[in-house]
Amino acid sequence: MSKRDEALVAALELFNDRGVAVVSTNHIAEAAGISPGNLYYHFRNKEAIVAALAEQLFDRWDREFALPEERTPTISDIESMVRTNFRIAWEFRFFHRDLVALLRQDPYLAERFRGVRDRGFAGFRELCGGFVRFGILRPMDRRAVDLLARNCWLISEFWLQSLELDGETDFDMGMERGVEVLLQAMNPYLA
């Protein structure tokens, strides 16, 4: 593993454990076992480290959320997507925890995140519309599909913060509860 990658691994662990605001580049260099100068060789500042980790997160989202092309998606596919989303969110929990502050600090990161998020939500809304067309969800107009997709998206996007606020320490149990909550939101609309 390169020194740059070691620094990113160390930064991710520190940010997840302590939050971005209290972790300095000196903390990251020490945890990575490199000098601060070596860290600055790879990253201009802490914001550049955050941005590099955010790009890893965005890449994971792009890779992990492909729907099956050879068949019609099912509710089980949504369950799987939600579990995958929760696992990725947990791996990069600092980003979700500090999201608003990070986006306010870095306009480019904010623009990048919104683009990735908008693309993901559009795909999920399209999936919900497809469920209506294939008879998995009861017939509803476009606005109702949009509202259902938005409710499910919000649950998925902010569930980990809710667990943290509740003091939940068992991630797997909390994740399964989140899947149940999301499916409960969809349940009245199932055909």
For residue 180, CA distances in Å to 9, 36, 159, 184 come to: 32, 45, 11, 6
Place of tokens 């149940």: 180
At 84, list the tokens.
Answer: 């995958």
- What integer pLDDT is reported at residue 21 of this predicted model? 94
pLDDT digits (tens, 9 = 90+) for 105-147: 999 999 999 999 999 899 889 889 988 988 889 999 999 999 9
Q: Domain 54-189, CATH 1.20.1740.10 — does that match?
A: no
91 pLDDT more than 90 = yes
- What integer pLDDT is reported at residue 78 of this predicted model? 82
CA–CA dist 47, 102 (Å, integer): 9
- What integer pLDDT is reported at residue 38 of this predicted model? 93
Backbone angles phi, psi at 35, to 5 degrees: -80, 155
pLDDT digits (tens, 9 = 90+) for 14-33: 999 999 999 999 999 999 99
Mean pLDDT of 43-50: 96
66 pLDDT more than 80 = no
Asked if domains 1-43 and 54-189 share a fold, the reply is no
Delimit the domains of the chain by residue range.
1-43, 54-189
State the amino acid at position 6 in one-letter form: E
Q: Beta-carbon neighbour count of residue 12 at 10 Å?
A: 21
State the amino acid at position 27 in one-letter form: H
CA–CA dist 134, 72 (Å, integer): 8
At 96, list the tokens.
Answer: 């979700």
CATH topology of domain 1-43: Arc Repressor Mutant, subunit A (1.10.10)
